[in-house]
Structure 1
Amino acid sequence: MEVSLPQPALHAALRKAHTATGITGQVRLVASPGQLDVTARNNGHTTMLFATELDADIASPGHVTVNIRQLLPAVKSFTPDILTLTGNDIGLDLSAGDINITLHASDHPACIADRIPAAGVAVGGVEFRRAVATTVRTVATDRHPVFGNVWFDRERDGGQLRLVGTDTFRLAAVRVPSAHQTPAGFQVDAPSLKRAVKALGKQVRYDLAHADSRLWVSAGGMTVGIETDDTALPRYRAWAQETRSTVTVARRPLADLLGRAVTLAVKKTPPPVYLTMTADTLEVTSETGAGTVSGSFHAGTCDMPDQPTRLGFNGKFLFDAVDTLEGDQVSLMLPEDPTERPKPIKLISAPACEVWHLVMPTRG
């Protein structure tokens, strides 16, 4: 094959492919009339696919597969000018002006998949990015086969898409509105999903499709495919027990105070944060090792009993929940007799409930 195209366009596409597939990615360049197809696939824990098309002048069609770890720095080394690619089964030549670089062809030419669904269901860009960013913070970090994934679920009322993440100590559920029914009923590796969204960038909308045991996310002329698992998530809805008491306070000041407690933690595991709730006040205290962090917040809405209720939480878990919510206020919803035995509390951004968290209190 022989192809000519602007160096910045190819470099930008390869950077996106590298973000999605990592250093183990193999890139397949396919030249066809008027365009260069760039597809990539990794060889990691979870298979990631990336595909995009670039406008190019094609002198002769063909294809070649090379390692992205070699191709990306080679393309980057050229100045922003017209770059000529000449490839065959042996390798790929890159040239511009008097500079020429030759790369060996990949030993894994058959590892590139290119079956991409023709269309998907559109979801809002801001809403989808928020859902991904919120849920990936709550999953297990040890590549757990179930609790290290983000679950694509569907709400019972209305059938809207809901993303769920949990490590069994905390849980986040985020609604992703859409005009049509989106694919659901599977789970996706959380780090891979995060990389996919980062590779696609901030888009106004994303198109979601589920085919060939993969979630396909398309936006801005690019598509990323991620392996999915149909293993059912445990019945997380039952974890949110009926609430008996609610405390509503200003969200941002509470998040700032919790953030200070986490930042000042001396040990790797943040110290517990204690919440003392009365009829009109929420008090926060934490012994961080570097000092004491404390604060008191007026409860705008509260139906707590007369006796103060004191509960301890992992400071990082509680901060993540409050910080990822939106709105001016946050409501902490307590089950009946929360001090009798550990029961998760529910946090929502009052009065909306598109996003909600469950956080399990600590013992003692």
Structure 2
Amino acid sequence: MKFSCKKEDICAAIGNVSKAVSVKSTITALEGIRIKLSYTVLELTGYDLELGIRSTIEAVSEDCGEFVVNARLFSEITRKMSDEILTFETDEMLNIRITGAVTEYCISAMSAEEYPDLPEVSDEHRFLVPQDQLKSMINQTAHAVSLNENKPVMTGALFDITEDGNFNMVTSDGYRLALRTEHIDTAEVHRFVVPARTLSEVSRLLKEDAKAPCGIYNNFKHIVFELGEITVFSRLLEGDFHNYRASIPPDKRTEVIVRTRELVNCLERCALLINEKNKAPVRCVFENGTVKVSCKTGIGSISDTIPVDLSGDAVTIGFNNKFMLDALRASECDKLRIHLSGGNRVVKIIPPEGDSFVFLVMPVDLKY
């Protein structure tokens, strides 16, 4: 078979699908990219049995056929070619000739028969989420994903969609929790857990400024994300995600309104004294319209103060500096409300208005 396409298009497609290619596998074909040609449609697929990415581009051809080629080598060759249009031709022995105006490569390919099929998932219960919304939801919850492989279900994000159309994305590692909510046009109830790695790749492919929808559907074992010419397939995580609603405190004794950048800058100054060998909680005293922040480690000590709007009781509390910084950076807000219920109760962080997100951070015992 023979086809031609733009170098820019095929390089972009290779870059996208390569994220799902196995680095090392007992199935050699999984270390490659499947190339499938149907006349003017060229389909590239990477798949490691957990995550699959398929990208479709335009080609000039009158042929059909498919083959598998080593992903790393194919990527390097196409990237190094200097021509705007590349031509690919295979023979009966599965040798691929890649040519430009003056440069020509000839490499070996594999039969596509050795390449596993992507999972078949019905789109009967498909729902749509604007790409910019979905990207924001993933980015705002990524920081609280658990890294503990002993409980795999917590290493992903819960998609909890209620009958009134509220789409809740939730992550939690036991020390913090992130909940992001958007309203979507569906009356169907969905509840499943998507691996964090999958969402990281989906976020990379989503466009921040795109209102175009992302189609999502699943069969309780696999999930599919449709992003125009790119489709992502993934296994779902099995197990029971914990009751996140029970973790969110219903009331507060103290409300603090703070400028996000001021608190981030303050905690970043504290971070200069904290590392793997010198760990200590950050001490915060909320009182009299200020928060007094201090930290003491083997490297040194710091004391700092920033203004806040405070209503309610004075509170002294300690917390993990990185966990609080992660939540603040994920907020995407100029100001935040912080709800406190005492020095030994969870910290709740929400936007200045509404509750489009809720971040929880567990307190840490203070020894000074």
TM-score by length of 1: 0.87
Q: CA contact under 8 A between 1:138 and 1:170: conserved in structure 2?
A: yes
Cα deviation code 1:308-341 (max 9, x no counterpart): 4211100000111122113332222123xx34xx
From the superposition, tell whether residues 89 and 48 of structure 1 become closer, same or farther in structure 2 (CA, over 3 Å). Answer: farther
Which 5+ residue runs of structure 2 have no aligned equivalent?
25-30
State the match for 1:244 in structure 2: 252
Separation in 1, partners of 2:356, 2:19? 29
* Residue of 44, 48, 61 corresponding to 1:42: 48
Separation in 1, partners of 2:156, 2:221? 15
Separation in 2, partners of 1:104, 1:269? 53
Identity of aligned residues (%): 21
The answer on 1:63 being equivalent to 2:66 is yes
Instruction: Answer with 283-292 or 162-171: which moved more.
Output: 283-292
Separation in 1, partners of 2:220, 2:158? 17
Q: CA contact under 8 A between 1:150 and 1:187: conserved in structure 2?
A: yes
State the match for 1:90 in structure 2: 94
State the match for 2:346 in structure 1: 344
Q: CA contact under 8 A between 1:134 and 1:324: conserved in structure 2?
A: yes
Q: CA deviation at 1:299?
A: 3.0
TM-score by length of 2: 0.86
Which 5+ residue runs of structure 1 have no aligned equivalent?
none
1:162-311 equivalences under 5 Å are 162-181=168-187, 184-202=190-208, 203-205=210-212, 206-211=214-219, 213-245=221-253, 246-267=255-276, 270-304=279-313, 308-311=314-317
Q: CA contact under 8 A between 1:270 and 1:316: conserved in structure 2?
A: no
Q: CA deviation at 1:26?
A: 3.1
Residue correspondences, number: 353
State the match for 1:359 in structure 2: 361
SS at match of 1:259: helix
Separation in 2, partners of 1:220, 1:30? 18
Q: CA contact under 8 A between 2:285 and 2:291: conserved in structure 1?
A: yes
Q: CA deviation at 1:228?
A: 0.7
Please give the root-mean-square deviation of Cα atoms over the aligned residues, in Å: 2.6
From the superposition, tell whether residues 263 and 220 of structure 1 become closer, same or farther in structure 2 (CA, over 3 Å). Answer: farther
State the match for 1:321 in structure 2: 327
State the match for 1:6 in structure 2: 6
SS at match of 2:236: strand
Separation in 2, partners of 1:200, 1:108? 31
1:160 corresponds to which letter in structure 2?
A: N
Q: CA deviation at 1:15?
A: 0.5
Q: CA contact under 8 A between 1:48 and 1:226: conserved in structure 2?
A: yes
Separation in 2, partners of 1:277, 1:326? 23
Separation in 1, partners of 2:363, 2:325? 13
2:128 corresponds to which letter in structure 1?
A: A
Q: CA deviation at 1:289?
A: 4.4
Instruction: Answer with 265-274 or 50-59: which moved more.
Output: 265-274
Instruction: Answer with 17-26 or 320-329: which moved more.
Output: 17-26
Q: CA deviation at 1:247?
A: 1.9
Cα deviation code 1:87-126 (max 9, x no counterpart): 3573433222341231331697232416465684321223
1:111 corresponds to which letter in structure 2?
A: P
State the match for 1:331 in structure 2: 337
* Residue of 158, 161, 169 corresponding to 2:167: 161
Separation in 1, partners of 2:131, 2:244? 26
Q: CA contact under 8 A between 1:161 and 1:182: conserved in structure 2?
A: no
State the match for 1:16 in structure 2: 16
Separation in 2, partners of 1:259, 1:182? 43
Q: CA contact under 8 A between 2:258 and 2:307: conserved in structure 1?
A: yes
Q: CA deviation at 1:270?
A: 4.8
Instruction: Answer with 186-195 or 106-115: which moved more.
Output: 106-115
SS at match of 1:174: strand
Separation in 2, partners of 1:41, 1:269? 42
Q: CA deviation at 1:358?
A: 0.8
